[in-house]
Amino acid sequence: MTQEMGSLEICMAQKANMEAIFHSVADGILTLDNEGRVVNVNTAAARILGMPDGGAEGAGSGGAVGRPVSEVLRGRLWDVEPVLRHTLESGEGIQARENMLAGPADRDLRVLLTTSRLFDRHGDVGGAVIVLRDITQVRELEVKLEERGRLHSIIGKSHRMQEMFRLVEEVA
């Protein structure tokens, strides 16, 4: 009996450690069941997607748990659900594929999505995991740099014109 109790305590400690790791990762993580419904959402995914209460509550509260992935991750460049189905059926995940998602307050988010199958303790497919990396700010900065580079070419490359351009940017 004490050996069983020791094993249970070890399992509980490992579970607590895994949950701490799950919630400390900077990328968003969603786990899904075989039907494509959200089972777990880490803290970063809830923040990225603008979910209340860490995304834990179901559809009535705006949370993700229990909802189909198509409701939680609404892709604007490509639909997430067929890619997830392909991952579940074939085992072929995607690696860092860019998509635009409908974010909080109708603000589009640029993300890199990675998918992979999950297995249960018997080795059967038990669902999938989706990892989201928010690259919205990176894409916005790239656009600004491109615009500035084009504007610099239009205005001129002389030192005086560059100074004038910096002054215009500061005023704006």
Average pLDDT over residues 54-81: 80
Tell me the DSSP string of 158-172: SHHHHHHHHHHHHH-
Give the per-residue pLDDT at 168: 77
d(CA 131, CA 140): 21
pTM, full prediction: 0.74
Joined tokens for residue 172: 């704006």
Q: How many CB atoms lie within 10 A of CB 32?
A: 23
Distance of CA 150 to the CA centre of its chain: 32
Give the per-residue pLDDT at 133: 96
The secondary structure of residue 113, as a DSSP letter, is: E
- pLDDT one-digit tens code per residue, 77-105: 999 999 999 999 999 999 999 999 988 77
Q: Please, are residues 95 and 63 in contact by the beta-carbon 8 Å criterion?
A: no
**Greater pLDDT, 63 or 64:** 64
- pLDDT one-digit tens code per residue, 108-165: 899 999 999 999 999 999 999 999 999 998 888 888 777 766 655 555 667 777 777 7
Joined tokens for residue 162: 């560059």
- pLDDT one-digit tens code per residue, 11-60: 999 999 999 999 999 999 999 999 999 999 999 999 999 887 656 655 44
d(CA 148, CA 135): 20
Quick one: which of 172, 171, 151, 146 has its CA closest to 161? Answer: 151
Joined tokens for residue 18: 């895994």
Q: Please, are residues 110 and 100 in contact by the beta-carbon 8 Å criterion?
A: yes
Give the mean pLDDT of the chain: 86
Q: How confident is the model at residue 166 (pLDDT cuts 50, 70, 90)?
A: confident
